[in-house]
Chains A and B, each alone.
Chain A
Amino acid sequence: MSDQETTTTTTAGSGGLAGVTDGSIGGGPTTPTQLKKVKKQKVLLMGKSGSGKSSMRSIIFSNYLARDTRRLGATIDIDLSHVKFLGNLTLNLWDCGGQEAFMENYLSQQRAHVFSNVGVLIYIFDIESRDVERDLATYVNIILALVQYSREAQVFVLIHKMDLIPPTMREEVFVQRVALVRKKTAEAVAIFRKGSLSQSQQSQSSHLPQSHQQQSQPGATTSPTATLPQDLEIGMQLFATSIWDQSLYKAWASIIHDLVPNLAVIETQLASMGAAIDADEILLFERISFLVVSKWTSREGDNNPYGDRFERMSNILKSWKHTCSKFTGTPRNTEQFSEFEYKMGNHFSMFVTQFTANTYILVCMPPGEARFNSAKLNVAAVRPWFKFLDGPGSGTAVAGGGPVQSAYGTAGSNYQVTGS
């Protein structure tokens, strides 16, 4: 399936690229100039007071250390922040203070204001919460408001503070909670359906690329939408998270993944580059958050037994960045290292380097000095191809040709695109 998809993308050049990027973006207008356009996504962060919304946001986007989040106070009302992600995507983060008075306010006076045009709702449950029933009741209300105003919004439910559960019990506790949340979501949807049964619902817009999400989150996701009518689906994913380990990066990488514009282009080009330089794995990171934007893995690299390696790399590199900033005394948000290379004898070689202005790239490849050096040169040479990651205007000339094209056939077979 990916073969056709990718070839059309590359050969189409800058003109026709937009065709493959819609769908996951929540129904924005798909004009041919999409590549140039800055996408804005409204992201709601909700959950009970003290559940960790602001901590999470600070770690991912403001480079806080986990232990620094102790300093954060309660969020009053809504804390709006605009996070620039990859130049052509802006996340409007609505960090909604979770105290009950605020919650009621969101659901009543501000209902339309808060819940319209939502791209993503991130709902956070505190696993240690004493009053689960009440949390779930609030959650149902939020979902009801959400489906009323932004039906195509994606829902991410994070079961947070999992570090407080002993490691052996985590899986079990999580599975239980997932079942509970799914049940409640289904109930919320049922309530909504009953309420709006009389109205005719023509909307067809809510078909989300569910298949892709499930593949990225096996185990935890069973389709909640199977029993629902065609006209109302909630794209929902659940994650167990903790700010103390990499689970946070896994959840956020999935959240981000579907929002990134031109994802198919990125993936296609990464794949052809990977094949050309003989890499085993390529990861593309966003510069500030070090979330994995895109990845490509060779057939050999697929044998890697570490399924969690992507979020692990995010975590490792981000904490490495912290170490560097502590050492150099520079602010955490600036670039901390420009090159990182590692050759492990005759096992593998890898390097992490600044790629475009907004991204870092990690390339893992077979050992060999010659191979390593030429790969480094090639990665440097291929930079202009990815210029579009740095935002509109900075380089829409994504030429289809180039040195990588020839190796194309081998790459197409072992990587996936999100397309329909």
Chain B
Amino acid sequence: MSSTGGGGPSGDGGEDPCTQPLPPRPVRFISLAALNLSRVYEQNRQRIQKKDGPKVPDPTTPQMKGKPRLLLMGQRRSGKSSISSVVFHKLPASETLFLESTARIQKDSLNSFMEFQVWDFPGQIDIFENPAYSFDMDAIFGEIGALIWVIDAQDDYLEAVARLNITILHVQRSYPHINIEVFIHKVDGLSDDYKLDIQRDVTIRIQDELSDQGIENAPVNFHLTSIYNHSIFEAFSKVIQKLIPRLGQLEAMLTNLCRTCRFEKAYLFDVNTKIYIATDSTPEDMASYEICSDYVDVIIDFSEVYGSWPRTQQWRDRLEGEPWAQPLEDQVACEWAESGMVLADAQRPIMLREVDRFLALVAIMKEGSYEKMPQINMNVDVVVKGLTEFFEITKPRGGGMGITGQGGQEVVSPGVPPAL
């Protein structure tokens, strides 16, 4: 088509819309999240049209329907099974040496504040290139929230990048809403410079390939990960946060709490996986994530050792008898787990408060605030109540909410704590 300088309507529906000279449009800013949601919407619409089956899912709540799926893919021996064992089954990283190679798709269900399914895809199967396998693409990619591609940074990764490119192209055509998360894995032991070099190299290779194919702004993200430190949990946190409906609201609540209680940093943790699903708006730093996540670990261990076995009736009777003469439930201040600890330097306290069975709020405070613990506890109580309400509202119950963008009209604004 010749460059006519922009009068013609773009209704001719060419094969390759990117090369078409479109008329100048008003510049409109679309946030990433909104872009995501509209993609999801579009994709679901297409699917319904295609299938037209009796079980038409509610298109307005695409991610809340069923379990969002995380797909782990990559070359064989790149570390997919190790990742899922370490993150979702709490296997010590050193024991992943003994993991067998995965022969078929390993499906794990993750019962947490949201239900996730993690599919560990064996590396030796190439679903796009091998016609011998006929995969039901819809069954695989239909409900998936994110595709995680694992690249072994300590190996020759050119082949992996090539396969990733093919995968991205396929996925982008049919399921454009899927977030593609590239884990550049096994970076422990590599120098910082080298890590960044690899990341840059991989990024360029993929971006080049994609733009050659005419795909721009594909939702591809890169993370440097290793199972021997916290980076894998951090990366998963980022992946999962993108799948949480109304993340902005959650973050606003935490930011508010941090401001009123003068916290340095607050995280909302998924206790089982140590993934944080939200944090306040202050810049993230790895160090505070690490200490908070280790704190959760310590608490889990303590709970297991001392809290997971039943006490005898005599024990209870004795405790409820004189001089207390109160049922045990009334003797405690908070029915959920709460914990605090003080760092020896600068007396900086860290606190933890369980929100529900799956979630815990962990915050690093400023020095000297340990004396104000009672007030802080009250504020935290308010926020925790707000969080509980939040999850009550956003719980999937089949078409409760429309896509109005994050922080739209249906603003849930519980949990505004009084200032100190």
Contact = CB atoms under 8 A, between A and B. Distances in A.
Contacts of A337: 341-344
Given A316-B298, A344-B303, A334 B344 contact: yes
Contact of B332 (A300, A338, A341, A345): A345
Contacts of B58: none
A348 B343 contact: no
Interface stretch (A255-263, A360-368, A384-392): A360-368
Contacts of B341: 337, 339-341
Contacts of A309: 305-306
Interface residues of A, number: 49
Interface in B161-184: none
Nearest to B98: A166
Interface stretch (B59-67, B70-78, B126-134, B308-316): B308-316
Nearest to B301: A316
Contacts of A312: 301, 305
Contacts of A364: 306
A281 interface: yes
A50 B418 CA distance: 60
Given A245-B92, A300-B311, A370-B324, A344 B343 contact: no
A304 interface: yes
B290 A326 contact: yes
B306 to A, nearest CB: 5
Contacts of A304: 305-306, 309
Interface string A18-54: 0000000000000000000000000000000000000
A167 B328 CA distance: 41
Interface stretch (A179-187, A220-228, A317-325): A317-325
A312 B299 CA distance: 13
B335 interface: yes
B160 to A, nearest CB: 27
Given A346-B329, A369-B331, A338 B306 contact: no
A342 B337 contact: yes
Nearest to B373: A341
B306 A303 contact: no
B311 to A, nearest CB: 6
A350 B337 CA distance: 11
B355 to A, nearest CB: 13
A245 B94 CA distance: 10
Contacts of B216: none
B299 A342 contact: yes
Contact of A316 (B290, B302, B331, B346): B302
Nearest to B323: A370
A366 B345 contact: no
A327 B95 CA distance: 26
A323 B299 CA distance: 14
A335 interface: yes
Given A305-B309, A348-B306, A366-B319, A341 B334 contact: no
A294 to B, nearest CB: 18
B269 to A, nearest CB: 15
Contact of A319 (B294, B311, B339): B294
B298 A336 contact: no
B287 interface: yes
B306 A350 contact: yes
B307 interface: yes
A336 B335 contact: no
B311 A336 contact: no
Contacts of B94: 163, 244
